[in-house]
Amino acid sequence: MIRPLRGGTVEYVKGSHRWGQSGMIEEFHAPSNPVKELAEAAFNAGVEKPERVPVVVKAGGGAFHQGWTWHGSDINHTQRPRRSVVAHCMSSENQFHDDRVSSIYSRYKRFGDNGMDESFFPITWRTDGYRSSFIQAYVERKIGWGQ
């Protein structure tokens, strides 16, 4: 095995962005079988042998993918923790669905309101030039998290 992959680098599944919506991932963080739901989704899409493509990202680098692309990391076979920063980006006009809210993001949905609170979903760019008011102060290091 190539040394950088022992830590379980991010992998994309070739062509998976065309498979359509799949079910919920049962165990997202450190699952015992990291490809269980992938195998099910591939089977449902008529894909006999999904091709997992490792993406080795150098320190300070980044990787971007479309949200419907199956992605994940295999088991970390080293004693070193792996580190990453993840940002999910979406339209500033998005709202929560009335009754289909994920188990992860439901904690950010206000009762009786489908709007997405900018404290948790900051607007970083919009065509009219608007962005969440606290971003400039944060960028200028006038405030930090929790201030």
Q: Tens of pLDDT along 92-119?
A: 999 999 888 777 788 899 989 999 999 9
- What are the angstrom distances between the C-alpha of 47 and each of 17, 67, 72, 97? 13, 19, 18, 30
Q: Distance of alpha carbon 58 from its chain centroid, rounded?
A: 19
In a domain, 101, yes or no: no
Under DSSP, the state recorded for 41 is H
In a domain, 133, yes or no: no
Q: How many domains does the chain have?
A: 1
Q: What is the span of the domain harbouring residue 67?
A: 3-73
In a domain, 90, yes or no: no
- 10 pLDDT more than 80: yes
In a domain, 124, yes or no: no
In a domain, 21, yes or no: yes
Would you list the DSSP string of 76-138?
A: --SSSPP---------TT----SS---TTGGGGPPTT-----TTTS-----TTS---THHHHH
In a domain, 86, yes or no: no
Task: Check residue 2 and give its pLDDT.
Answer: 42
d(CA 19, CA 42): 8
Q: Distance of alpha carbon 7 from its chain centroid, rounded?
A: 19
How confident is residue 12, by pLDDT bands cut at 50, 70 and 90?
A: very high
Radius of gyration of the chain (CA): 18
In a domain, 115, yes or no: no
Q: Tens of pLDDT along 67-78?
A: 889 998 877 888
How confident is residue 147, by pLDDT bands cut at 50, 70 and 90?
A: low
d(CA 57, CA 9): 8
In a domain, 131, yes or no: no
